[in-house]
Structure 1
Amino acid sequence: MTQRDSSASTDGPIPGEMVQHGTGVNSNRAFPTDGYPHNLDPFVLFEQFYIDPETGFPMHPHRGFEIVSYMIEGGMEHEDSLGVANTAYENDAMRITAGSGIRHSEFPADGRACTGLQLWVNLPQAEKDVDPDYVDATADSLPTEAQDGATVTTVVGEGSPISLHTPMEYLAVSVADAWTWSVPEKWSGFLYGVAGDGTVDGHPFTGGDMLPVTDAQSVTLRSDESLRVVAVSGRPHGEPIRQRGPYVL
């Protein structure tokens, strides 16, 4: 996959597209897709996965980027070539630094289906060969606060035990009225609808939708009932993103 222009603009939310992985796992991919064929430097891809009890991801390799997984429902068992074995449940998070190379597997826990979100974050060229690493965080270790119109959990960012080589912030947000989110100057970001219905700057916004938000932009989400979203932003590397399957070169 070649470098895509992360500065591409859009007039409103873009629906994700369903993809099926070779192992039978289905995902709603936010980007890159036919409808939004771009990366969002420093972000390589983002999707919501649905793993049925009889499917999963057997041991496979990664290299050259970092992975953040955040669980929405059920549990996911992780094992890797570092000797780590961990099961993440609802609102738990994991970060894998693939770096110079790591192998891992992901399967649903307890014989039940699971759903979660997975984000791939590029490593800058100077750090592509860092040692692989892993860290996880339980739901109660992630900072959560009530803000005007929303409840906000910091998955990556100030107060979270999870950090990456790329300066970034990853917020899990439940909007019950109106909530405004801003992307820092010179950063790139996006909103993704996890569940529920509402609007973003007056445009309908629902589960599976994605909205790119870049360079000091602010947007306002509104919901009469409940809208669950993630808001992700990070500092671009300004380097080509070259994805080759499970590797980002």
Structure 2
Amino acid sequence: MTNVFQRELKNHWYVQYNEMSFPAVQKGWVLEPGNWKEHDPFILLAEDWFKRGTFSDHPHRGFQTVTYVIDGRLEHIDNHGGQDILEPGDVQYMNAGSGARHAEEAVDNDIAHTLQLWLNLPKELKNTKASYQNVYKEHAPVVPFEGGQVRVYSGEIGGVKGPLQSLVPFHLVEISLTAGSSYHLHLPENHNAFVYVLSGDVLFGMNEINLKKTGAATLTSKVDGKGEKESELYIKANKRSKVLVYSGVPINEEVVAYGPFVMNTMDEIKEAYADYQAGKFGPPVKS
């Protein structure tokens, strides 16, 4: 195993939260927008607490969203007749592609607590048809290990494939550990990756850098890495802990993100706004 690239924490921080105006409650950036090259293919990761009415009918184009429900219930409604309710541990994938129009609402009087990832699309896929997929917690397979388990939503871990079918392949796993347990996570060598601690107290990498709840970090990467080769991240829990790990292959294209659109040029952003105003994204969402 000496030839396996050992991942370490590159940059690490704790999420800062801001109180929001009703019906939003609180927001924090796990991955702040603007660091396109460093986080490629990831655009941002937002952690939100919100009541119904915060994310009503709105458009997107040019990227994918991956929404993980931490607490509360989240109702998805789109303008093609799609509707479902997601609960803690469930994940929703959306390919906005050429244009999506949807709503993401807390159910009844719930406060929905979610993590929403914006995952970029390469230029050749930005005009694909919008689509959605829900992955319920019980449908995401689990890889057990001594003292814990890995729930695989997307990608392949330990020979087990997650059910999420994204246009741009990426990994999303939830790692649960008991106090004192450890795990060696294997990721494709050419992936850019980051971690977020949902709960507990965790040591990462052979350098054993400590992160507690709301701690986030990017991982060291191998610029000339190969997809068929694995890298390894050592994880050890000081107490009962839960960690999310995201990884994907960098796209290495120009990124222009403005409002609800992510394109390659400002002209394409202007075109997206014009198309939306012209009704090309379809009718409003009925909620």
Instruction: Please classify the TM superposition score into its range, dividing by the shorter chain length.
Output: 0.7 to 0.9
Alignment of 1:1-249 (within 5 A): 11-19=10-18, 24-32=24-32, 39-51=38-50, 53=51, 56-158=54-156, 159-176=161-178, 177-201=181-205, 202-213=208-219, 214-215=221-222, 218-249=232-263
The code of the aligned residue for 2:199 comes to A
Give the Cα–Cα distance (whole angstroms) in 1 for the partners of residues 135 and 63 of structure 2: 19
Deviates more, 1:67-76 or 1:206-215: 206-215
TM-superposed deviation, 1:224:
2.8
The structure with more radius of gyration: 2
Deviates more, 1:211-220 or 1:110-119: 211-220
Q: Sequence identity of aligned pairs in percent?
A: 25
Give the Cα–Cα distance (whole angstroms) in 1 for the partners of residues 155 and 215 of structure 2: 23
Q: TM-score, normalised by structure 1?
A: 0.87
- Structure ranking higher in helix proportion: 2
The structure-2 alpha-carbon separation of the partners of 1:247 and 1:193, relative to structure 1 and needing over 3 Å to count, comes to same
What are the Cα deviations for residues 192-230 of structure 1, in whole angstroms up to 9, with x where unaligned? 111222222322211221111133653322213211110
Say which SS state the counterpart of residue 226 (structure 1) adopts: strand
Give the Cα–Cα distance (whole angstroms) in 1 for the partners of residues 52 and 62 of structure 2: 30
TM-superposed deviation, 1:39:
4.8
The structure-2 alpha-carbon separation of the partners of 1:133 and 1:11, relative to structure 1 and needing over 3 Å to count, comes to closer
Give the Cα–Cα distance (whole angstroms) in 2 for the partners of residues 33 and 84 of structure 1: 29
CA contact under 8 A between 2:68 and 2:90: conserved in structure 1?
Answer: yes
The structure-2 alpha-carbon separation of the partners of 1:244 and 1:76, relative to structure 1 and needing over 3 Å to count, comes to same
Gaps of 5+ in 1: 1-8
Gaps of 5+ in 2: 1-7, 223-229, 264-287
Say which SS state the counterpart of residue 216 (structure 2) adopts: strand
CA contact under 8 A between 2:197 and 2:244: conserved in structure 1?
Answer: yes
The structure-2 alpha-carbon separation of the partners of 1:62 and 1:54, relative to structure 1 and needing over 3 Å to count, comes to closer
Say which SS state the counterpart of residue 82 (structure 1) adopts: coil
CA contact under 8 A between 1:65 and 1:123: conserved in structure 2?
Answer: yes
Give the Cα–Cα distance (whole angstroms) in 1 for the partners of residues 33 and 237 of structure 2: 27
TM-superposed deviation, 1:47:
2.4
Give the Cα–Cα distance (whole angstroms) in 2 for the partners of residues 10 and 195 of structure 1: 18
The code of the aligned residue for 1:208 comes to T
The structure-2 alpha-carbon separation of the partners of 1:139 and 1:54, relative to structure 1 and needing over 3 Å to count, comes to closer
TM-superposed deviation, 1:26:
2.3
What are the Cα deviations for residues 13-44 of structure 1, in whole angstroms up to 9, with x where unaligned? 2222325677634222111269x786511111
CA contact under 8 A between 1:12 and 1:211: conserved in structure 2?
Answer: yes
CA contact under 8 A between 1:31 and 1:37: conserved in structure 2?
Answer: no
Q: How many residues of Structure 1 are paired with residues of Structure 2 in the alignment?
A: 239
